[in-house]
Amino acid sequence: MRFPTFLTAPLIAALAFASPAAMANPDVSDWDAVSQAAQGQTVYWYAWGGSTATNDFIAWIGDRAEQQGVRLEHVKLSDTADAVGAVLTELQAGRETGGSVDLIWINGANFASMKSVGLLFGPFAEQLPNWQYVDVDGKTVTSDFTVPTEGYESPWAMAQLVFVYDSARVPEPPKNAARLLQWAQENPGRFTYPQPPDFLGTTFLKQMLIELVPDPAVLQDPVDEDYEDVTAILWDYLDQLTPYLWRQGRAYPETGPRQLQLINDGETDIAFSFSPGEATTAIANFDLPETVRTYVLDGGTLGNASFVAIPFNSSSKEGAMVVANILLSPEAQLRAQTPGILGYGTVLDMDRIPEADRAAFEALDLGIATLSPAELGQALPEPHPSWATRLADDWVARYGVAE
Q: How far apart are CA 154 and CA 292, in angstroms?
A: 33
Task: Tell me: does residue 189 bind another protein (CB under 8 A).
Answer: yes
Contact 167, 293 (CB under 8 A): yes
Q: Which residue, 2 or 139, has its beta carbon nearer to another protein?
A: 2
Where residue 39 falls (left for φ over 0; alpha for ψ -120 to 50; beta otherwise) is: beta
Closest separation in Å from C-beta 71 to another protein: 14
Site string for another protein, 345-374 (x = CB under 8 A): ------------------------------
Task: Tell me: does residue 287 bind another protein (CB under 8 A).
Answer: yes
Whether the link from the prior residue into 4 is cis, omega within 30° of 0, is: no
Q: In a 3-state reduction of DSSP, which class is residue 135?
A: coil
- Angle separating helix axes 177-186 and 227-241, nearest 10 degrees: 30
Q: How far apart are CA 31 and CA 152, in angstroms?
A: 17
Site string for another protein, 255-274 (x = CB under 8 A): x-xxxxx--xxxx-------
Residues 92-151 that bind another protein (CB under 8 A): 92-95, 100, 110
Which span (73-81, 203-211, 233-241, 315-323) binds another protein, by CB under 8 A? 73-81
| Residue of 79, 153, 211, 278 interacting with another protein (CB under 8 A) | 79
Task: Tell me: does residue 251 bind another protein (CB under 8 A).
Answer: yes
Question: Got the DSSP string for 284-316?
Answer: HTTSS-TTEEEE--TT--BEEEEEEE-BTTBS-
Q: Which residue, 35 or 338, has its beta carbon nearer to another protein?
A: 338
Q: In a 3-state reduction of DSSP, which class is residue 183?
A: helix
Closest separation in Å from C-beta 403 to another protein: 7
Pairing mode, strands 153-160 and 303-309: antiparallel
Q: Which residues bind to another protein, rule: CB under 8 A?
A: 7-8, 11, 14-15, 44, 49-52, 55-56, 59, 75-79, 81-86, 88-90, 92-95, 100, 110, 169, 188-190, 195, 246-248, 250-255, 257-261, 264-267, 285-287, 289-290, 397, 399-403
